[in-house]
Structure 1
Amino acid sequence: MRKVFLLLLGVSFLAVVTTSCDTDDDGKYSVGDFIVSLGVVQKESPDASSYVIKMDNGDSFVPVATSVPFANIYNNQRVWMNFNPLDDKTNSDGSLIYYGKLNDLRNILYKDISVASQVDADSMGYDPIDVKDIWMSQDSILNVEISFYTAGSTHYINLVNDETGDGVAQPYMLDLKHNARGDEQAYRTSGIVSFKLGTLKAAGNNSINFIVRYTNYDGQTIQEPVMTYHYGT
């Protein structure tokens, strides 16, 4: 089974709400203005040098300059970014396209939801984990802000459908699994992981319900409140 590394983010990188910025008197952005947001990279082809980042609030960002020229940018990459807006235009739906300088870019773990019968339970892990926040964005992305103890090694994080629910009569039960891989509990760190909700659908319905469940450091099994994923027809 392919395992994906978890990017550990410092506290300073946990801002995910777009920061508003003021314009000066002539309507242009100031050099010191910046916006911080989560988003997903959109590239027309793997070899294309240009790309657009679709932000979680529906706006988009087009970099015209960058302070991270050697970043490995690929299509459908989940990222945290900080950029200086220089100009913008308004789309017909009211969303904005920002043009500006990319100041910083960090990769965010972005994974499919696993299915219990298709994975090795032991590889998923049984280590505790704390959830600081959980929310949906871009219609089909589930974001989880997590916290756990580490000595600096790479941990594995997965979200596993235990296959007991159908999303309609009974919510899908999704277990947030943490495999610390024997790492010591030296200090606490935080990060954000994102999961794709697209596989959670039910025939004849345009929405499903689900619950995220995990075991915290007090040994308690926690069930987050029921969430609803609307995916249309």
Structure 2
Amino acid sequence: MNMRKVLTLLLGASFLAVFVTSCDLDDDGKYSVGDFIVSLGVVQKENPSDNSYVIQLDNGDSFVPMATSVPYFNVYNNQRVWVNFNPLDDKSNSDGSLTYYGKVNDIREILYKNISNASKVSADSMGYDPVNVKDIWMSQDSILNLKIAFYTAGSTHYINLVNDETGNGVDQPYMLDLKHNARGDEQAYRTSGIVSFKLGTLKAAGNDSINFIVRYTNYDGQTVQEPVMTYHYGS
């Protein structure tokens, strides 16, 4: 498995990890041009050659772009994105969610990776540089998100989440090590961003949920273990 995937972190800026909205309906019940919604989401694009796609937002709503201010942005299926859009219309769905229609103001790719197993990666490729975790949460039922911070001079860093394979997820939580490889980069300035990982491979036979812990080494040289989290995946 190639662990050297480029870290796409929106470097140099700290973007909101929650659903943010600034929308007021005008007199005819429609949105205004100045309204916007900011959210994380996952792209759903059935046909690679088709320009149309839908973004499944983390709060359960969805967004259908009708126009964009960033036509050069390459969109592909199952892509994790941060999106800022101007809603111009919406419809209610049977599950209570909303489907928005509007214009993309800005869109950025978020690092979105599988969780690796320690036995299948070389130790030197994972990296042992410090990293700080500012926030951690789950979304869309199976996505683990971390807002992280580290120091850089602007070069590419590598981030991975590695299962050390000591736990079973039931009586002993899976231990997931957040690995940072700065590749010798100078610690010139602090930057932060969001990374996301797919929880789908973390299952236990005969159970509909598992427990896990995220562990990392911070800039004070301390090994930090986040509180136990539970991933419910059903039968």
Q: How would you bin the TM-score normalised by the shorter chain?
A: over 0.9
**Pairing of 1:75-224 with structure 2 (within 5 A):** 75-224=77-226
CA RMSD of aligned residues (A): 1.0
What CA distance in whole angstroms lies between the structure 2 residues aligned with 1:189 and 1:12? Answer: 7
Q: Go from structure 1 to structure 2 and tell me whether the alpha carbon gap of 1:90 and 1:13 turns closer, same or farther (over 3 Å shift).
A: farther
1:17 corresponds to = 18
State how many pairs are aligned.
Answer: 233
Look up the match of 1:43.
Answer: 45
Q: 1:4 — aligned with what?
A: 5
Structure 2 distance, partners of 1:214, 1:10, is: 20
Tell me by how many angstroms 1:25 deviates: 2.3
- Give 5+ residue unaligned stretches, structure 1: none
Instruction: Verify the 8 A CA contact 2:13 2:193 in the aligned structure 1.
Output: no
State the distance in 2 between where 1:11 and 1:92 align: 40
Q: Which runs of 5+ in 2 are unaligned?
A: none
Point out the more displaced range, 80-89 or 10-19.
10-19
The answer (yes or no) to whether the contact 1:8–1:189 under 8 Å persists in 2 is: no
* Separation of aligned partners in 1, 2:146 and 2:97: 25
- Distance (Å, rounded) in 2 between the aligned partners of 1:207 and 1:31: 43
- Offset of residue 11 of structure 1: 6.4
User: CA separation in 2, counterparts of 1:144 and 1:94?
Assistant: 28
Q: Is the 8 A contact 1:79 1:108 kept in 2?
A: yes
TM-score for both structures, normalised by structure 2:
0.97
Which deviates further from its counterpart, 10-19 or 198-207? Answer: 10-19
Counterpart residue identity of residue 119, structure 1: V
SS in 1 for 2:20: coil
The one-letter code matched in structure 1 to 2:10 is L
Q: Distance in 2 between the 1:128 and 1:15 partners?
A: 23
Structure-1-length-normalised TM-score: 0.98
Q: How does 1:53-64 map to 2 (within 5 A)?
A: 53-64=55-66
Q: Does structure 1 conserve the Cα–Cα contact (< 8 Å) formed by 2:9 and 2:111? A: no
The one-letter code sitting in structure 2 at the alignment partner of 1:166 is N
- Equivalents in 2 of 1:46, 1:16: separation in Å? 28
